[in-house]
């Protein structure tokens, strides 16, 4: 739901609250029909992607169906303001967001003389994209006395220079920090206090694609039940380049420092979703669903950092890598929905989704002897994040027997506690469909607006980067119903 984390990834070198939050979010995608109505299908059903939100949506099916969304174009735009300087970034990404198949069985051979009130049973399988990490951010401005090395000094103080590791050792080997006179475990930086040009570039690829296996039933065309077992495949890749440049020649002999960071995380999880849709009268549908936490039993993280410095008389470089594994449990979710159908030609629906991100937890995947307890990281999750409220409203109207139009809107509140950050988002959606008796196709447009403050690193002198994202997504789905 949020396009970025609370702190840019290049400031990280181990699993922490930012990772837990990032990988716990959802940004539902799927079929073009689903996206065109802002995903507000939890009480309406009859669309494969709705099974990921409310499994009871499968219970509305009375025919078999196969859907495929091979065309999703995401035009990503960002505007960053740092110390009154603005930079824009743009890129285009292509992805697949859906494939699904649903099979239905009638349980009464003679509908005129039914032997049971269970009318239909359905089974479905396929996948939906439940989160999209693709993003691009540029930021540029003067430091006003702050430097990334201030953070390195703070983290290195108290450690003998012979025992420095990771950023501390790399900064030491590239002459970015040095010991205070007469000390071997207290440090200073040549860059601290100077007005340097800070230049930041971050490109992120990846997403969470969830395989779904769903089972549903239709009781007397009034009560629809469903169960979905989800197997999410997480893939996250981040490339970052950060520079500090002495363009005013304030530091004798120093020209610039560059850090390069590559971070990749991958893993497979599992979850379950339970849902029902109740139709007390023909035109009204009420839906409820519960999502268990997603449990990732082994997320593998590969991290590489390289630091290069340029002086008038020499250049220096150093790098390190780290490979680690950890476990993650995301928060549970609850979704409530209400839908109205109009003469079998239109629907209007609304739904509310609740998730509390303070319930996310990190765990060690190591044996008990070497296990790290993640106590500080999980406390940071509890301190920073809280409840997120999402509202989705959608509508569809059949203009002719074969042509449909859709529109929708979704809003997610900020998940941060105590005004620590912004982080709310808006989705404005529209779509059309061309449906025959057997073949159909749908097209959707989604404009996503999100904003958030971010920080390059931890430093009291550092001002936030104000980021506004405007993403334009175009999707096309093709299907057959038989």
* Confidence tier at 371 by pLDDT (50, 70, 90): confident
Structural domain that includes position 332: 9-147+191-481
Mean pLDDT of 385-414: 95
Per-residue model confidence as pLDDT tens digits over 346-367:
999 999 999 999 999 999 887 6
Per-residue model confidence as pLDDT tens digits over 44-81:
998 999 999 999 999 999 999 999 999 899 999 989 99
Give domain status of residue 166, yes or no. Answer: no
Mean pLDDT of 79-103: 91
The yes-or-no verdict on residue 9 having pLDDT over 80 is: no
* Confidence tier at 120 by pLDDT (50, 70, 90): very high
Q: What is the pTM of this model?
A: 0.90
Per-residue confidence (pLDDT) for residue 8, from 0 to 100: 43
- Dihedral sign from CA coordinates of 216, 286, 354, 397: positive
- How many domains does one find in the chain? 1
Per-residue confidence (pLDDT) for residue 2, from 0 to 100: 41
Give domain status of residue 216, yes or no. Answer: yes
* Confidence tier at 420 by pLDDT (50, 70, 90): confident
Per-residue confidence (pLDDT) for residue 171, from 0 to 100: 94
Q: How far apart are CA 471 and CA 446, in angstroms?
A: 8
Give domain status of residue 385, yes or no. Answer: yes
Give domain status of residue 321, yes or no. Answer: yes
Give domain status of residue 163, yes or no. Answer: no
Give domain status of residue 331, yes or no. Answer: yes
Q: What phi, psi does 423 have (nearest 5°)?
A: 115, 5
- Of 150-164, 186-200, 222-236, 412-426, least confident by mean pLDDT is 412-426
Give domain status of residue 176, yes or no. Answer: no
Give domain status of residue 142, yes or no. Answer: yes
pLDDT over 90 for what percent of the chain? 79
- Of 141-145, 232-236, 289-293, least confident by mean pLDDT is 141-145
- Dihedral sign from CA coordinates of 100, 448, 2, 334: negative
Give the residue from 12, 321, 8 showing the smallest Cα distance to 155: 12
Q: How far apart are CA 224 and CA 215, in angstroms?
A: 11
**Could you tell me if 467 and 77 are in contact, meaning their C-beta atoms sit under 8 angstroms apart?**
no
CATH of the domain at 44: 2.40.160.60
Q: What is the CA radius of gyration of the chain?
A: 26
Per-residue model confidence as pLDDT tens digits over 170-184:
999 999 999 999 899
Q: How many residues does the chain have?
A: 482
* Confidence tier at 14 by pLDDT (50, 70, 90): low
């Amino acid at each position: 739901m949020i396009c970025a984390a609370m702190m840019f990834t290049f400031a990280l070198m181990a699993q922490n609250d930012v990772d837990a939050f990032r990988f716990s979010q959802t940004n539902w995608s799927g079929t073009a029909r689903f996206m065109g109505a802002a995903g507000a299908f939890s009480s309406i059903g009859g669309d494969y992607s709705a099974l990921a939100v409310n499994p009871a949506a499968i219970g509305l099916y009375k025919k078999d169906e196969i859907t495929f969304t091979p065309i999703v174009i995401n035009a990503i735009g960002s505007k960053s303001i740092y110390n009154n300087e603005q930079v824009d970034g743009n890129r285009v990404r292509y992805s697949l967001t859906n494939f699904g198949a649903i099979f239905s069985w009638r349980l009464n051979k003679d509908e005129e003389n039914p032997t049971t009130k269970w009318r239909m049973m359905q089974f479905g399988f396929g996948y939906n994209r439940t989160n999209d990490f693709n993003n691009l951010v540029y930021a540029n401005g003067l430091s006003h006395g702050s430097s990334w090395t201030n953070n390195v000094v703070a983290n290195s103080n108290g450690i003998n220079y012979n025992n420095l590791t990771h950023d501390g050792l790399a900064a030491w080997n590239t002459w970015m920090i040095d010991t205070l006179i007469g000390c071997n475990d207290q440090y200073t930086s040549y860059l601290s206090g100077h007005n340097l040009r800070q230049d930041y570039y971050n490109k992120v690829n990846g997403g969470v694609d969830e395989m779904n296996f769903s089972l549903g039933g239709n009781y007397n065309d009034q009560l629809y039940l469903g169960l979905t077992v989800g197997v999410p495949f997480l893939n996250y890749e981040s490339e970052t380049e950060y520079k500090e440049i002495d363009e005013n020649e304030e530091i004798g002999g120093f020209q610039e420092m560059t850090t390069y960071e590559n971070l990749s995380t991958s893993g497979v999880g599992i979850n379950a979703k339970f849902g029902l849709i109740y139709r007390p009268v023909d035109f009204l549908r009420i839906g409820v669903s519960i999502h268990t936490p997603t449990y990732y039993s082994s997320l593998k993280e590969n991290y590489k950092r390289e630091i290069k410095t340029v002086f008038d008389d020499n250049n220096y470089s150093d790098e390190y890598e780290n490979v680690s594994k950890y476990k993650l449990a995301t928060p549970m979710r609850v979704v409530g929905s209400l839908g109205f159908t109009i003469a079998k030609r239109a629907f209007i629906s609304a739904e509310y989704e609740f998730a509390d991100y303070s319930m996310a937890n990190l765990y060690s995947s190591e044996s008990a002897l070497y296990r790290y307890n993640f106590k500080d990281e999980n406390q940071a999750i509890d301190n920073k994040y809280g409840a997120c409220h999402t509202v989705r409203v959608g509508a569809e109207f059949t203009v002719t027997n074969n042509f449909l139009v859709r529109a929708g809107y979704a809003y997610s509140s900020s998940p941060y506690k105590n005004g620590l950050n912004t982080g709310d988002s808006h989705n404005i959606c529209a779509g059309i469909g061309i449906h025959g008796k057997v073949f159909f196709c749908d097209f959707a447009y989604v404009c996503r607006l999100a904003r958030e403050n971010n920080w390059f690193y931890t430093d009291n002198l550092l001002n936030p980067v104000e980021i506004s994202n405007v993403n334009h997504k175009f999707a096309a789905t093709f299907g057959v119903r038989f």
